[in-house]
Amino acid sequence: VKRGSNKTQCDCGVYALKYIECHARGLDLSLMHDDNINTARMKIACDLFDAANDPVFIDRMSRYESISWETEEIDLDPDL
């Protein structure tokens, strides 16, 4: 991302999500800048709203069961 982006310092989450998207799609990061970040924020909000009202997604989430993780304590030797 070019230097001086995120001048409002309120868009770091939007920049992070768009950075991940650009990286995953192999897009040039220069596409992200303050002039279009508000549009990106609105698109993310609309996508989240649509997902929250998607009947298939709602059904899947109603049947979601979290995975239990087994943990064990590890005693670290400070002399190593």
The residues spanned by each domain of the chain are: 11-62
Cα distances (Å, whole numbers) of residue 14 to 4, 17, 74: 15, 5, 37
Over the stretch 13-30, which tens digit does the pLDDT of each residue have? Answer: 888 898 898 899 999 888
* Residues 6+ away with beta carbon under 8 Å from 12: 6
Q: Please, which residues have CB within 8 angstroms of residue 79's CB and are 6 or more apart in sequence?
A: none
Q: Minimal CA–CA distance to 34: which of 12, 63, 53, 54?
A: 12
Q: What is the pTM of this model?
A: 0.61
Give me the chain's average pLDDT, please: 85
pLDDT per residue of the chain (80 residues) written in tens, 0 to 9 = 566 677 777 788 888 898 898 899 999 888 788 888 889 999 999 999 998 899 998 999 899 888 887 878 777 777 76
**Per-residue confidence (pLDDT) for residue 54, from 0 to 100:** 93
Instruction: Give the total residue count for the chain.
Output: 80
